[in-house]
Structure 1
Amino acid sequence: MTLKIETEGLLNNGIYLKEVQPSLEQKHIFVRLPKVTVKTDIEDNVREIAITISPYNQEKLSKLDLSSVFQGFIQQQAQSNRDSSQMVYKLLNIDSDYFYKFSNLKQLFQFQKNYDSEIPLDKYNSIPVLSHKIIVARSGNGKSFLLLYLISFLALSQKNILLIADYKQSDVFIACRDNLGLSSVSSKEDILQMVEDTYLEMLDRQKAFNDYEGNKLGLTMDKLGYEPLFLVIDELASFTAALDKKELEQFNFHFKQIMLLGRALSVFCLITMQQFNVKNLGGSSELKEQFGDQILLGNNDSQTIQNLYGSNELPNFQMEKGNGFLQNDSNLQPVLFRSPFLEPSFFKHLEKLNLKLQTKKES
């Protein structure tokens, strides 16, 4: 395996150092290759390749894609280790079952109890609970299922407040209102009011923080009795397109303040879009950087990829439904992940009640 990496990965991409020939008579070119270390997991679902960095190969190593070296694997990430002595590549078997499956909310509830500060996406990737999140995906690429999973996960923890705004009244909206018992609105007026109320709640939290007379060093909202609040807006661009000029100005002001100030006050946004551009964020490029977790699902055009990640250099292969890329503080470059699979029975046979109360009693 190491020999294959050296020949197909390093030599074919010009990542080597030519040695001085001992004599003119010897018609050979001697090269020095960087050290290669290979690790695989027990089920051979993940391969981790570490290649020693030196001044002459650092730039080339950062652009190296080893996917072609391993049939059936796709490169998930390539980034240097902490002391920048090695470039580490992680490759995933695209046919392996490293994603989670859930048949109903009770099963997800039992799973969720094992996690406190993070939300697992698959067996190798997770995102923090407390962050602004954005999901970008064309229709049919699994956006609704991933959004429903994230909302359900947050709701079932019984530690969060969720406000759902869905102008299109999708299945996610119906599930949140009827099965999860969440505050869900769909009309233009109600969504604008919900966003304004979220903004006012944030100001109330800010005042409570400023009025606190004790030591504010390390003070968090939960110590003041405030639960994390998540404002979920499905298909943001579709909603803003329906607003007149005055309404749009009102929305953009409130939304921008929530995005810029909310994290410190445990107020977060979870947004979805079909295509990403700064215009859909009120024309404010600084808001893009506020999204701690940037998720791109399915196959997308190069402009959308460029707008979201600042580069369109992603692996070029046909993505299955639910497959996507994630970029956040833990993954400075987009990494491949697979969304949890929600089986058709996920909401089957559930009565119109707040499941949180039921599962709390049963636990």
Structure 2
Amino acid sequence: MRMTQRKLNGIYFSIWIALTLTVVIILKVATPIFNNLLTDLNLDYQFDPTLAIQMSVVLLLLSLLIFSTIWSIRNRIWKGKESIKSYFLILKIRKELILASYSDDQNVTEKVVRLPKIKIKFDDKQLNTGRLIIRDSVEFHEKLEKATFTPALKGFKVETVYQSDDGDWFIFDFYATDSQNQDVFTELSSFLDWSNQTTNQYQIRFDGRLSADLKHILLVGATRTGKTYGLIGLLLQMINKSTTYHLYFADPKNDQLRKIGNWVDPKKTAVTTEELIKLIEQVYQRLIEREKEMEKATATRMTGDYRDVKLEPIFLVFDEFSSFINVLESKEKKQVLGHLTAVVQRGAGAGVFLLLIMQKSDATTLPTAIRSNLLLKIVLGNATTTTYSTAFESSSDVPIFRFGKGQGVYLDDTMSKPKLFSFPYLKFIDAFDGGSNDPALLWQKNSSDQQALNSEL
């Protein structure tokens, strides 16, 4: 069987250790026999193997020390579980590369082959995501471009492939397949603790591996795909941050979002067409005011946004935008779209954001000027090709997956291809379905109310 030089070196080292041990054993076992033979021959000489055995043992220990030191440095043993996991994954990949004939033909003997350099780097201590990094070359470029390493990464799945900035490496982003299991929370406090593990006051946690700065968001999903649970999770994080979030609620369907809005702030909640137009105008005026605040606050700064001057975020949360925009007269529609376009184009730096919820993404309903500035796009469930195409501008790169409730794919401004996504399951919300608990408690910020809520649940 063909093998790498590294494996051959390991075999040579194993043989060396075996031979050294054999010498020690022979000296131990054969010396008494040899000395008895000398006595029987009346020779006044006894062989003392102690020095030879000691030298052999020292040589053996020194060899093991050198080998283990080289192995530890190469595999970064100080990283603990990560180094062990990386070692066995690379071992498996190297084996698969040999079987797939990924060898350098200019450096091949009858049994020994040369493989490209391989590295694995994990992004977190939980080993949920990481990167497989393989050295590119003229010899391997075409093969690596078409390669899939998911079968070799047991327990992990590759989702994006790209080249390093210098073009010297192929990088395969992967995630642990069990990381897509939904987190389940039975208490509000444990959910908030989880969200704060990876975020600051100007960030939101979306699932087990996605935490992001505040930005304009598009959330798409058909009925029963988990949009409501996902939205509630985002809003609960916002109202429980250390800084105040100013939330505006637009619900033309007069449904769940209207209820949440009334519990949080009825004055900033709109349902009818007239109310919705006024609410959008109000948010637009807040944008203009905020821009003036920013101009004054950053007068002595070269750069910076609302976070640098400690301004509070403003969010317009809009459910089922299509059912609202399609009933407007031409003049009203132009005004509304103009205001929303201003918010998504100018609002991010000033801390004014739009969170848009829709059942499907339609190019005729959501203008490109707005959609292209919604930098985080989430599509839940198994959506149509049209929905993926209008949300992500392509449906061909969407991962193949059987999505459950609250699961889907997302794409943000730092990515070239969508990745799998899974909102946590907020089991504590189920306690309100029977009417035995007051939902208003859920939307109170102070900790005493949260403790009361958890005790009731």
TM-score range, shorter chain: 0.7 to 0.9
Aligned partner of 1:108 in structure 2 is 191
In 2, the alpha carbon distance for the partners of 1:21 and 1:214 equals 65
Residue 358, structure 1, aligned to residue 446, structure 2: yes
Aligned partner of 1:34 in structure 2 is 116
In 1, the alpha carbon distance for the partners of 2:239 and 2:207 equals 19
In 2, the alpha carbon distance for the partners of 1:21 and 1:206 equals 65
- Segments of structure 1 that go 5 or more residues without pairing to the other structure are 23-27
Aligned partner of 2:234 in structure 1 is 150
Is 55-64 or 271-280 further displaced after alignment? 55-64
Secondary structure of 2:175's aligned partner: strand
What TM-score do you get using the length of structure 1 for normalisation? 0.80
Amino acid at match of 1:103: T
Higher helix share: 2
Amino acid at match of 1:247: E
Aligned partner of 2:372 in structure 1 is 289
Aligned partner of 2:85 in structure 1 is none
Aligned partner of 1:336 in structure 2 is 420
In 1, the alpha carbon distance for the partners of 2:219 and 2:95 equals 38
**Number of residue pairs aligned between Structure 1 and Structure 2:** 353
Secondary structure of 1:279's aligned partner: coil
In 2, the alpha carbon distance for the partners of 1:223 and 1:96 equals 34
Q: Give, in angstroms, the shift of residue 53 of structure 1.
A: 2.3
Is 85-94 or 211-220 further displaced after alignment? 211-220
8 Å CA contact 1:127–1:293 kept in 2: the answer is no
Amino acid at match of 1:134: L
The structure 1 residue matched to 2:313, chosen from 210, 215, 228, is: 228
Q: Give, in angstroms, the shift of residue 344 of structure 1.
A: 5.0
The Cα offsets for residues 276-298 of structure 1, whole Å up to 9 and x where unpaired, read as: 2332223xx24333222122222
The Cα offsets for residues 182-207 of structure 1, whole Å up to 9 and x where unpaired, read as: 63222222111111111111112223
Q: Give, in angstroms, the shift of residue 110 of structure 1.
A: 3.8
8 Å CA contact 2:379–2:410 kept in 1: the answer is yes
Amino acid at match of 1:142: G
The structure 1 residue matched to 2:211, chosen from 116, 126, 141, is: 126
Aligned partner of 1:79 in structure 2 is 162
Aligned partner of 1:275 in structure 2 is 360
What TM-score do you get using the length of structure 2 for normalisation? 0.65
In 2, the alpha carbon distance for the partners of 1:265 and 1:213 equals 11
The Cα offsets for residues 68-126 of structure 1, whole Å up to 9 and x where unpaired, read as: 55566433333344544322223334345654332243333444444313222233222
Amino acid at match of 1:215: T
Aligned partner of 2:221 in structure 1 is 137
Q: Give, in angstroms, the shift of residue 168 of structure 1.
A: 1.6
Q: Give, in angstroms, the shift of residue 60 of structure 1.
A: 5.8
Aligned partner of 1:299 in structure 2 is 382
Higher strand share: 1
In 2, the alpha carbon distance for the partners of 1:274 and 1:56 equals 48
The structure 1 residue matched to 2:400, chosen from 289, 296, 316, is: 316
Secondary structure of 1:261's aligned partner: helix
Q: Give, in angstroms, the shift of residue 305 of structure 1.
A: 2.0
Amino acid at match of 1:356: Q
Aligned partner of 2:293 in structure 1 is 208
Q: Structure 1 53/205 Cα, relative in aligned 2: closer, same or farther at 3 Å?
A: same
Higher relative contact order, chain-length normalized (CA < 8 Å, sep 6+): 1
Secondary structure of 2:377's aligned partner: strand
The residue correspondences of 1:181-260 to structure 2 (distance < 5 A) are 181=265, 183-210=268-295, 214-218=299-303, 220-221=305-306, 226-260=311-345
Q: Give, in angstroms, the shift of residue 147 of structure 1.
A: 1.5
Secondary structure of 1:308's aligned partner: helix
8 Å CA contact 1:2–1:38 kept in 2: the answer is yes
Aligned partner of 1:25 in structure 2 is none
In 1, the alpha carbon distance for the partners of 2:308 and 2:155 equals 49
Cα RMSD of the aligned pairs, angstroms, is: 3.6
Amino acid at match of 2:117: K
